[in-house]
């Protein structure tokens, strides 16, 4: 049985009701790994009493667990929303935290679109209704996601009418706008989806950064490719900082003027002039009905292939960096040139990853088989 929570890990009022005392294996069977990250792994779990399948995120606790507690607090605050992945229970034992969450099995947004082989403006409008309303709900609780992208827009199941779920609140933050000191400051997000004010990193930024990311998602689902793309990240960021995007022919020729207009009003460099969730919901395109134009699914599939290649490249870089860090820590490598190589590998990982921060050293095994 786990002991009492340490003072530095005391749960917030919002998350207190999710904490359980005892061994998680008394209630759940912990099965195979279904996902991994820099700080955690996710395993499939089964509730022994009900048979319900769940996702169990397992995290090795550090001396400063503030990031973990922040994510838990945020999930607890939005647990009542049907389009957010649900938090169920939290266990803490043997230096690890087990976060039991809803298991979503329907795949990512782009995979679903490609499988359907059809996605028109009405489909895009229905998607944006869900995303904007959910983001509005999060913002009403002072929560900024900061990493909205298609990989974090999931479907609850493989059913045709499965609800959409927004996932991965690892970079989310509570926004406290009492004064300028309450502005968000951290440079984070995913290249291609990050807002210009986040990249500028001058004077802080507001929840409006999420609306920029929704603008990028909308652009992609209307045409099949992203508005900002370049192999060199500094040039990609220059495009974003200038909102340098275009409606290319022939992919945008049949897209309605109203759809192009809402994209332009979301991808505005000045966050004060960018559409808010309420304004976006009131935009004429959001009020229309009818199929309109269809996305070029082949174009979208090509974009997804490139994303997957980048993920594979990112994984290789992370493995190399982790190996070098481990060798240095064990004394099998010396400082000097190898350390420089480790830094170079970490830099590549940091540029490609969804955060702009280098990865930590590899953790010990997270679950005793």
Enumerate residue ranges in the chain where pLDDT < 70: 1-14, 38, 63-64, 117, 177-182, 290-297, 306-369
- Tokens 């169990």 belong to residue: 56
Considering the domain architecture, whether residues 286 and 263 belong to the same structural domain is answered as yes
**Catalytic residue check, 147:** yes
The two tokens of residue 20 are: 């359980």
* Rounded Cα–Cα distance for residues 40 and 194 (Å): 24
Are residues 182 and 226 both part of a single domain?
yes
pLDDT number for residue 47? 97
Q: Say which CATH number the domain at 153 has.
A: 1.10.510.10
Q: Both 92 and 158 in a single domain? A: no
Over residues 118-176, the pLDDT tens digits come to 788 999 999 999 999 999 999 999 999 999 999 999 999 999 889 999 998 989 998 87
Asked if residue 93 and residue 63 are part of one domain, the reply reads yes
Contact predicate 327/341, CB 8 Å: no
Q: What is the pLDDT of residue 247?
A: 95
Domain edge (last residue) among 102, 129, 149? 102
Given 64, 67, 111, 147, which residue is catalytic?
147
CB 277 within 8 A of CB 211: yes
Within a domain: residue 359? Answer: no
Give me the pLDDT at residue 21, please: 86
Tokens of 227: 């508005």
Nearest to 151 by CA among 175, 173, 170, 125: 170
Q: Where do runs of H (alpha helix) occur along the chain?
A: 66-77, 109-116, 121-140, 196-200, 208-223, 233-242, 257-266, 277-281, 284-287, 297-330, 337-352
What is the model's pLDDT at position 309? 62
pLDDT score, position 63 = 58
Tell me which residue range forms the domain holding 78.
7-102
Who's near 120: CB < 8 A, 6+ residues apart?
A: 291, 292, 293, 294, 295
> Is the same domain home to 115 and 18?
no
**Would residue 11 count as lying in a domain?**
yes
Number of domains in the chain: 3
Residue 74 and residue 118 share a domain? no
State residue 64's pLDDT score.
65
Q: What is the CATH number of the domain that holds 45?
A: 3.30.200.20
Please report where in the chains the tokens 């040139």 appear, as a residue: 337
């Amino acid at each position: 049985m786990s002991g009492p929570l340490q003072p530095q890990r005391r749960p917030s009022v919002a998350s207190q009701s999710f904490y359980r005392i005892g061994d998680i294996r008394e209630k759940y069977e912990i099965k195979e790994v279904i996902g991994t990250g820099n700080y955690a792994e996710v395993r499939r779990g089964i509730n022994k009493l009900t048979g319900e399948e769940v996702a169990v995120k397992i995290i090795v606790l550090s001396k400063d667990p503030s990031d973990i507690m922040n994510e838990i607090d945020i999930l607890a605050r939005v647990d009542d929303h049907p389009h957010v992945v649900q938090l169920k229970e939290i266990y803490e034992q043997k230096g690890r935290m087990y976060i039991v969450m809803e298991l979503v099995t329907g795949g990512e947004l782009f995979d679903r679109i490609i499988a359907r082989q059809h996605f028109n403006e009405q489909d895009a409008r229905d998607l944006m209704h869900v995303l904007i309303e959910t983001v509005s709900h999060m913002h009403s609780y002072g929560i900024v996601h900061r990493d909205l992208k298609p990989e974090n827009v999931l479907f609850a199941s493989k059913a045709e009418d499965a609800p959409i779920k927004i996932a991965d609140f690892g970079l989310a933050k509570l926004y406290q706008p009492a004064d300028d000191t309450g502005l968000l400051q951290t440079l984070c997000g995913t290249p291609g989806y990050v807002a210009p004010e986040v990249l500028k990193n001058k004077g802080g930024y507001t929840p409006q950064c999420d609306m920029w990311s929704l603008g990028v998602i909308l652009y992609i689902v209307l045409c099949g490719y992203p508005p900002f793309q370049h192999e060199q990240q500094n040039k990609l960021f220059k495009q974003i900082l200038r909102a340098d995007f275009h409606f290319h022919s022939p992919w945008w020729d049949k897209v309605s003027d109203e759809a192009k207009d809402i994209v332009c009003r979301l991808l505005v460099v000045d966050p004060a002039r960018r559409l808010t969730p309420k304004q976006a919901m009131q935009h004429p395109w959001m009020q229309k009905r009818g199929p309109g134009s269809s996305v070029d699914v082949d174009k979208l599939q090509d974009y997804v292939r490139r994303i997957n290649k980048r993920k594979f490249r990112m994984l290789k870089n992370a493995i190399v960096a982790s190996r070098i860090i481990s060798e240095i820590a064990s004394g099998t490598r010396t400082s000097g040139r190898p350390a420089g190589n480790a830094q170079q590998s970490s830099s590549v990982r940091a540029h490609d990853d969804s955060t702009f921060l280098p990865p930590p050293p590899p953790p010990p095994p997270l679950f005793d088989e």
